[in-house]
Amino acid sequence: MGLPLIVLYISFFGLIFLLNWGCVVYLAPWVMGLEQWLEDRLQGKPTTPIHFRRLTYFNTSNSHPPQSKIVSTSSLSFLPVLALSIAFLLAAITPAFASGLCSGFGIDNFFLIIYLLLTLPFFMLLSGYGKPAFIDIRTLQFFLFDNILFLPTLFVVGIILKLTTNEVSLGKIVVFFHSSNPFPMMAYCPLLTSAFVVLLMTWNVLDFKDRVNTIKILKTSDKLLYLYAYDIQFLVMLSLISLFIWPNSLIYFDTSHINIVTTLCALPFAVLAWIAKIVFTCVILAIFRSIYLLTANAYKARLAFIVSIVSIITYFTGLK
């Protein structure tokens, strides 16, 4: 392989990587706005435009309260920026419509992505300790606990992925479904239940805006950084769900054989399929939240754990 061809492959790889990352980062506020708009419509509440949330992040010059009322947390002021940086990292390593971009580095691991997702509420709690206020600290602790409730279940989901596809790398999971012939229904059924488990965990992310607005010890700029980070987290989790729902819709990169023409032809379909799955998941989530199913987080965590156990039983039943 000549040097010009190597440069072409690297440039093509970088372009798809930036497109995958940029779509998640740019569309995250829009997707969160769509979810809130759907919920308001279903519940009969006054609706806000879908693009309003994005405008909030970029037109905040008039939204800051007086500086005298803002509590300074200088020793921990880097935490909101760090949380947003981790959200950007999650957007980079999570396959949206293109997989295999990070498989060679081993950073698209399902367990790594889950642990990074759980660091965001932890950073929020640390920010609150910069200037303790009992009510605000308790709110942050409850929010962290609601997320940790799902940690054992997500560990079981990782076991399900390992059993059904022999991989926990999301890129290699997509390769497994692309290369399997005939279509492995024994692996696909537990994958759908894994998508439902992640959907139950995504439920809590939507409550973050209401909780963060009640916290008085954070500056407005810090709140906006956390809100943007959680918008990205929400879209990352929806991307995980969409991958589990239909892994064959993602394009994948094989470093040993790269066909630029085939990839470019499949790219529009992959992007449209990803958007369609995201909208479909938002509609399902809005319907569930609008009829107030499973309001207690402990019930959702228990249901998620039961569903994950059923997935493992389904897998071993299929072996027989």
- What is the Cα–Cα distance from 193 to 114, expressed in whole angstroms? 17
Structure tokens at 217: 């010890």
DSSP H stretches of helix in the chain? 3-43, 52-58, 78-93, 110-128, 134-148, 151-165, 170-179, 185-205, 208-212, 220-245, 260-290, 297-319
List, in order, residues 6 or more apart from 275 with CB less than 8 Å away: none
CA distance readout (Å), 144 to 78, 117, 198 = 19, 11, 17
Q: Closest Cα to residue 243, out of 172, 154, 292?
A: 172
Alpha helices in 74-150 (DSSP H): 78-93, 110-128, 134-148
Q: How far apart are CA 75 and CA 70, in angstroms?
A: 15
CA distances in angstroms from 264 to 7, 150, 225, 242, 275, listed in the order given:
17, 38, 35, 21, 17
Model confidence, pTM: 0.84
The structure tokens listed for 301 are 């965590």
Q: How is residue 166 written in tokens?
A: 């022999």
Which neighbouring-strand residues pair with 257? 254
Residue with tokens 């607005």: 213
Helices 134-148 and 110-128 sit at what angle, rounded to 10 degrees?
A: 170
The pLDDT value recorded for residue 107 is 83
149-166 burial, b at 16+ Cβ within 10 Å, e below that, comes to: bbeebbebbbebbeebbe
Rounded distance between C-alpha atoms, residue 267 and residue 80, angstroms: 34
Q: How far apart are CA 146 and CA 320, in angstroms?
A: 37
CA distance 191 to 188: 5
pLDDT tens-place values along the chain, 320 residues long: 567 767 777 787 888 889 989 999 999 999 988 988 888 888 787 777 777 776 666 665 444 443 434 444 445 678 888 889 999 999 999 988 888 777 667 788 888 888 888 888 777 777 766 555 555 666 667 667 767 777 777 888 888 888 878 888 888 888 888 776 665 666 677 788 888 888 877 877 777 766 666 666 667 777 888 888 889 999 999 999 999 888 888 888 765 566 677 777 888 899 999 999 999 999 988 888 877 655 555 556 666 666 666 666 666 655 54
Is 108 in contact with 94 (CB distance < 8 Å)?
yes
Matching residue, tokens 């819709």: 249
Question: Could you give the CA distance from residue 131 to residue 176 in angstroms, rounded to a whole number?
Answer: 49
